[in-house]
């Protein structure tokens, strides 16, 4: 499942520095001028999960394979992007292709780093991005309304229903609100499904602070946290430059010394990656055997045959049953055999909804 989180923000807020830190497979250029990033960089990263280490110790496999998520470093946005200013059209098209947004916001003062928007103001910076995305969405909504109005005379009740939903969306955007705040459900989502609204995507904020505020935050990050709470969003407070330095260290010992120096228990990136993973409404199940322990990504709410399909489509087509052990039971009883003997290995059918952390084997026939 190549699900992507797009890293966005104004120019020179630390997007590419964050991408450099978060990505295992690519290095983005991080420079102090506008539009340093033009073509989006894409990096696939492992999702940190302590459960993998525990299963590895219990099973002693030949290899372990974590699950992954992709991050996309997208060009910096400027005011007027919805009208094509700067790299606006390209930027917005790139956002349209990702599944969630990681919005990096500057929460530090540094006169050596260019800033054209005036004094440091994370709320105003957020609103610049929001406004441009809302204006683009408004254009998309109005164009679809125009198309449907030509069809409404045919008396199709579905067209009329979609027009009502789109009218609500239009008013919502006019009020400077994001579509994700409307919580469209069921058939309502069909009205916007084909226009891929930007403000419908889930968002996670990164408050890029200076070293002094790394553990405690500052007045800028505090204001951002308060704002995010009002819209039900999460803020990760971190120093992107420090995170980039951590990734350059080669040994665990060096990293532990670095953590100790800054009072950290783990990289802020781990929190970011896990939060982005959850933001995409994803969970993990495991397969565990002597050849490998592997983590698999699925959407919350998927049933067993769907979960099996991420291993191979034949697993879904020929699904018979799933052998399931809850993670906590596997840890308690140590082995699959012990779980079976103690009644903790369950046989589940097609209607079973997979739970986060399930250890599974599939029976299938094709």
Query: Residue 34: exposed, middle, or buried by beta-carbon count in 10 A (0-12, 13-18, 19+)?
Result: middle
Residue 54 · residue 331 · CB < 8 Å: yes
Q: Order of strands across the sheet with 235-238?
A: 41-46, 68-73, 4-8, 100-106, 203-208, 235-238
Length of the chain: 366
- Inter-CA distances, 135 with 84, 129, 131, Å: 12, 10, 6
Residues comprising the binding site?
Answer: 12-17
> How many Cβ atoms from other residues are within 10 Å of residue 146's Cβ?
9
Q: How would you write 163-180 as a 3-class SS string?
A: HHHHHHHHHHHHCCCCHH
Q: Max Cα separation, the chain?
A: 71
Residues comprising the binding site for ATP?
Answer: 12-17
CA nearest neighbour of 324 among 364, 355, 285, 359:
359
Helix extents (H) in the chain:
15-22, 50-59, 88-96, 122-149, 157-174, 190-193, 219-230, 240-248, 252-262, 268-279, 304-309, 313-317, 327-333, 336-341
């Amino acid at each position: 499942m190549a699900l992507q989180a797009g890293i966005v923000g104004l120019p020179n807020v630390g997007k590419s520095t964050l991408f450099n830190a978060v990505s295992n497979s690519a290095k983005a250029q991080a420079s102090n001028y506008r539009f340093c990033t033009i073509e989006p960089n894409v990096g696939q990263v492992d999702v940190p999960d302590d459960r993998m280490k525990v299963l590895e110790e219990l099973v002693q496999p030949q290899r372990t394979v974590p699950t992954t998520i992709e991050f996309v470093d997208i060009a910096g946005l400027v005011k007027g992007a919805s009208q094509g200013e700067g790299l606006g059209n390209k930027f917005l098209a790139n956002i349209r292709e990702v599944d969630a947004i990681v919005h990096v916001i500057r929460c530090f003062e540094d006169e050596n780093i260019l800033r054209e928007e005036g004094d440091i103001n994370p709320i105003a910076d957020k609103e610049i991005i929001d406004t441009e995305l809302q204006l683009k969405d408004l254009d998309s909504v109005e164009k679809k309304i125009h198309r449907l109005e030509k069809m409404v005379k045919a008396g199709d009740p579905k067209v009329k229903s979609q027009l009502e939903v789109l009218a609500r969306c239009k008013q919502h955007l006019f009020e400077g609100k994001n579509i994700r705040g409307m919580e469209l459900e069921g058939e309502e989502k069909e009205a916007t499904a084909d226009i891929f609204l930007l403000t419908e995507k889930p968002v996670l904020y990164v408050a890029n602070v200076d070293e002094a505020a790394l553990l405690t935050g500052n007045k800028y990050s505090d204001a951002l946290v308060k704002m995010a709470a009002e819209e039900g969003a999460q803020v990760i407070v971190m120093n992107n430059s420090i995170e980039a330095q951590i990734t350059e260290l080669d040994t665990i010992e060096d990293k532990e010394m670095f953590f100790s120096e800054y009072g950290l228990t783990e990289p802020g990136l781990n929190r970011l990656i896990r939060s982005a993973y959850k933001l995409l409404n994803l969970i993990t199940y495991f397969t565990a055997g002597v050849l490998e322990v592997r983590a698999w990504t699925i959407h919350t709410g998927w049933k067993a045959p769907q979960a099996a399909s991420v291993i191979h489509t034949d697993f879904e087509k020929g699904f018979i049953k799933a052998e399931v052990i809850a993670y906590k039971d596997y840890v308690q009883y140590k082995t699959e055999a012990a779980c079976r003997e103690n009644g903790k290995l369950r046989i589940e059918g097609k209607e079973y909804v997979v739970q986060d952390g399930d250890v599974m084997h599939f029976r299938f026939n094709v």
